[in-house]
């Protein structure tokens, strides 16, 4: 049996990362069996190499190997592509057609992007995995097939199962053995090796001297996150090989080919450390203060109404003391011995703001007092909202889309607020 190094040379695979080597070892170990395999990993990591290795080292290596991109086939025709159809089964079916499972009998089928399969097709595939049987579209005759299935996906299968987009029983049938290919950012030692390999290949292809990176360019190459993984690295190596006249590439030159992934259009303002910005934190604190103030004002309204009614003086006094402690805190020394609600209401800003206490009126006007407090409270919250919107617009230089994202509201809501407050 071939070793890992021989497999790398045979399939032109580059890298010495332990996780990558382990994936190759698992592929070699499972190849002689007929166990179904699920290859997982991000898009662009090179998952298509694993089924080729498995097929070439299996007893099926002299039979058919068919790779199918499930995400590229329209939902209406995928059953016909995989399982075939009978003449007249649907509009346009002018003759009987054999599907991939019939053509690849005795060989291997690689189902790439298997997570994109429609649920109806998943049921058909499950039957093939369980007993090797399938039905052509438009046929009632059961056919047998002996096919080894290797599938691959870049989606989170457990999330897909939770959202009922993928059958749980099919997942466990496919993933008898699961092989994960690590993303390029976890293979730091392999990044420069891969770039040099691609640069050499493109130099020969386009009959140009091979480009090489300066030391600072190598460091930049290693620091990049590579969301597109090996596919992205290969594309950049090809661009540089074709477009650059100077074959020694500096960090400044390389930087022009690397996309700026730090800038995103997220609804929340996030800094480089993954935490919310100071403005966002300030906004959250301000909201909390406003809601606490609203609660305190509601308590004050209730207590003042009790005072006006003159009912249950002992209860009123007890609530009075509780409310005073709530405003001053738990430090008993800071609370004046003879403090009353009326005196609290006359305290300077910012302890209590925008509260009007009226002189007791005749009975018919008592409830008008509560309405007056509610109006003042609403105006206070409205002023804070206007202030927040103005600050955000100034911070974003009048850009309404950015301001709406920073405030955590929709653009439509922001436009309505601006019109409402005549900002």
Q: For residue range 321-335, list pLDDT tens digits in order.
A: 666 565 555 554 544
pLDDT exceeding 90 applies to what percent of the chain? 58
Residue 288: the pLDDT is 67
Sign of CA dihedral 394, 395, 399, 405: negative
Q: What's the mean pLDDT when you consider all of the chain?
A: 82
Token output for 136: 């052509």
pLDDT at residue 351 in the model = 39
pLDDT for position 6: 93
- How far apart CA 49 and CA 52 sit, in angstroms, is 5
100 pLDDT more than 90: yes
What is the per-residue pLDDT across 19-54, written as a single tens digit (0 to 9) for each?
Answer: 999 999 999 999 999 999 999 999 999 999 999 999
The residue whose two tokens read 């007791």 is 360
Looking only at Cα atoms, what is the longest distance across the chain? 102
Q: Which residue has the higher pLDDT, 244 or 396?
A: 244
Please state the rounded mean pLDDT for residues 227-251.
95
261: exposed, middle or buried (Cβ count in 10 Å: 0-12, 13-18, 19+) = exposed
Q: Do strands 177-180 and 248-249 pair parallel, antiparallel, or not at all (unpaired)? A: unpaired
| Integer CA distances (angstroms), 297 to 224, 303, 377, in order | 53, 10, 8
Delineate the domains of the chain, giving CATH numbers in brackets: 4-182 (3.40.50.300), 185-255 (1.10.8.60), 278-311+344-421 (no CATH)
Distance CA 296, CA 341 (A): 12
Would you state the pLDDT for residue 114?
A: 96
Nearest CA to 15 out of 222, 228, 192, 202 is that of 192
What is the torsional sign of CA 132, 135, 140, 144?
negative
Structure tokens that stand for 152 in this block: 């691959």
- Element (H or E) spanning 67, and its range? strand 65-69
pTM of the model: 0.61
DSSP, residue by residue, 243-280: H-SSSEEPHHHHHTTS--TT----SS-B-TTSSB-HHH
Averaged pLDDT for residues 75-91: 92
pLDDT band at 259 (very low <50, low <70, confident <90, very high): confident
Distance, in Å, from the CA atom of 30 to the CA atom of 149, rounded to the nearest integer, reads 12
Give the count of beta carbons closer than 10 Å to the beta carbon of residue 354.
16
Residue tagged 């020969």 (tokens): 204
Cross-strand partners of 248:
212
* Whether pLDDT at 83 is above 80: yes
State mean pLDDT over 263-292: 55
Place of tokens 């309505």: 416
β-partners of residue 212 are 248
Q: Specify whether the CB–CB gap between 367 and 308 falls below 8 A.
A: no
Q: Quick: pLDDT tens for 187-234.
A: 999 999 999 999 999 999 999 999 999 999 999 999 999 999 999 999
Confidence bin at 292 (pLDDT 50/70/90): confident
pLDDT confidence of residue 353? 43
> Pairing relation of β-strands 212-213 and 177-180?
unpaired
246 CB contacts (<8 Å, ≥6 apart)? 253
* Contact status, residue 400 vs residue 393, Cβ threshold 8 Å: yes
pLDDT of residue 136: 94
Collapse the DSSP code of 97 into the 3-class scheme (helix H, G, I; strand E, B; otherwise coil) and give the result. Answer: strand
pLDDT tens per residue across span 349-372: 443 444 444 444 444 444 444 444
The H or E element spanning position 1 is none
Residue scoring higher pLDDT (402 or 315): 402
Buried b / exposed e across 163-190, counting CB within 10 Å, b at 16+? eebbbeebbebbbebebbbbbbeebeeb
Q: How far apart are CA 53 and CA 110, in angstroms?
A: 12
pLDDT, position 385: 80
Dihedral sign computed on CA atoms, order 349, 350, 354, 356: negative
Question: Which parts of 239-374 are beta strand (E)?
Answer: 248-249
Phi, psi angles (nearest 5°) of residue 276:
-70, 150
Helix, strand, coil shares of the chain as percentages rounded to 5?
A: 55, 10, 35
- By C-alpha distance, which of 116, 148, 108 is closest to 132? 148
Residue 164 — very low, low, confident or very high, per pLDDT cuts 50/70/90?
A: very high
Distance CA 118, CA 121 (A): 5
Residue 290: band (very low, low, confident or very high) from pLDDT cuts 50, 70, 90: confident
Give ∠ CA 155-48-55 in degrees, rounded to 5: 125
Place of tokens 């770039």: 195
Which H helix or E strand runs over 34? none
């Amino acid at each position: 049996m071939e070793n890992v190094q021989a497999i790398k040379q045979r399939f032109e695979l580059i890298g010495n990362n332990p996780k990558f080597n382990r994936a190759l070892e698992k592929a070699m170990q499972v190849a002689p069996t007929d166990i179904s395999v699920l290859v997982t990993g991000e898009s662009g990591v090179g998952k298509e190499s694993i089924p080729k290795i498995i097929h070439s080292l299996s007893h099926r290596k002299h039979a058919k190997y068919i790779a199918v991109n499930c995400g590229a086939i329209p939902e209406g025709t995928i059953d016909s592509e995989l399982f075939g159809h009978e003449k007249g089964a649907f509009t346009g079916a002018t003759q009987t057609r054999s599907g991939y499972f019939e053509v690849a009998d005795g060989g291997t089928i690689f189902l790439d992007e298997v997570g994109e399969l429609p649920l109806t097709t998943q049921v058909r595939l499950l039957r093939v995995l369980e007993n090797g049987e399938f039905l052509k579209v438009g046929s009632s005759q059961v056919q047998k097939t002996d096919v080894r299935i290797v599938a691959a996906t870049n989606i989170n299968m457990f999330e897909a199962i939770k959202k009922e987009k993928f059958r749980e029983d099919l997942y466990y049938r496919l993933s008898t053995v699961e092989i994960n290919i690590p993303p390029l950012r976890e293979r730091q030692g392999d990044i420069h090796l891969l770039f040099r390999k691609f640069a050499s290949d493109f130099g020969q292809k386009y009959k140009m001297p091979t480009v090489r990176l300066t030391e600072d360019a190598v460091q930049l190459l290693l620091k990049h996150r590579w969301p597109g993984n090996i596919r992205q690295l290969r594309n950049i190596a090809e661009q540089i090989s074709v477009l650059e006249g100077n074959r020694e590439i500096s960090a400044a030159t390389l930087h022009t080919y690397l996309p700026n992934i730090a800038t995103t259009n997220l609804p929340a303002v996030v800094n480089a450390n993954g935490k919310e910005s100071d403005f966002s934190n300030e906004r959250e604190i301000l909201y909390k203060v406003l809601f606490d103030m609203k609660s305190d004002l509601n308590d004050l309204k209730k207590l003042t109404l009790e005072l006006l009614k003159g009912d249950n003086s002992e209860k009123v006094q007890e609530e009075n003391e509780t409310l005073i402690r709530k405003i001053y805190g738990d430090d008993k020394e800071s609370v004046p011995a003879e403090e009353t609600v009326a005196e609290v209401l006359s305290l300077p800003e910012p302890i209590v703001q925008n509260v009007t206490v009226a002189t007791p009126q005749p009975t018919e006007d008592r409830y008008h007092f509560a309405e007056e407090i509610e109006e003042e409270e609403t105006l206070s919250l409205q002023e804070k909202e206007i202030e927040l919107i103005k600050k955000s617009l100034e911070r974003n230089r009048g850009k309404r889309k950015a301001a709406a994202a920073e405030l955590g509201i929709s653009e439509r809501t922001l436009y309505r607020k601006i019109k409402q407050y005549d900002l």
